[in-house]
Amino acid sequence: MRVDIYRRAEANNKFSYLAVPEGRLIPEEATNFDWETDGQAKEMGENAESLRSYGIDDLDQQIAEKGYAITSVASQPS
C-alpha cells in the first residue's frame, strides 16, 4: 500500500503524523488541523519503509476502520 504522510506540530517539540492512502484527501474529521505534507506515495508493506519514525501503530487496521492512520499520543516522535 502506498500512503501520503502529513504532519503537524504538537507541544514540547513533538509531531503527530497522519497517513492516508495515496491520492486520497485528508478525511473531513481531520481537516480542522494544519497538516503539512511530509511525504507522498510512501510504500508501506512487509518489506517497505517502517512507520516507526512516524509513531503510527496498526496502519492497516486504522485505515480500514477510519480511512486514515494517525500517530498515537503515547508515540509522538520529536
Condensed to tens digits (0 to 9), the pLDDT of residues 25-77 reads 888 877 766 887 887 767 666 544 566 778 888 888 888 998 999 887 766 66
Concatenating the DSSP letter of every residue in 29-53 gives GGTTS--EEEEEEEE-STTS--SGG
How do the domains of the chain map onto residue ranges? 2-75
CB 20 within 8 A of CB 12: no
- For position 21, what pLDDT does the model report? 92
**What predicted TM-score, i.e. pTM, was given to this entire model?**
0.78
- For position 74, what pLDDT does the model report? 67
DSSP tag of 76: -
- For position 13, what pLDDT does the model report? 85
- For position 29, what pLDDT does the model report? 76
C-alpha cell, 34: 494544519
- Residue 57 to residue 36: CA distance in whole angstroms: 20
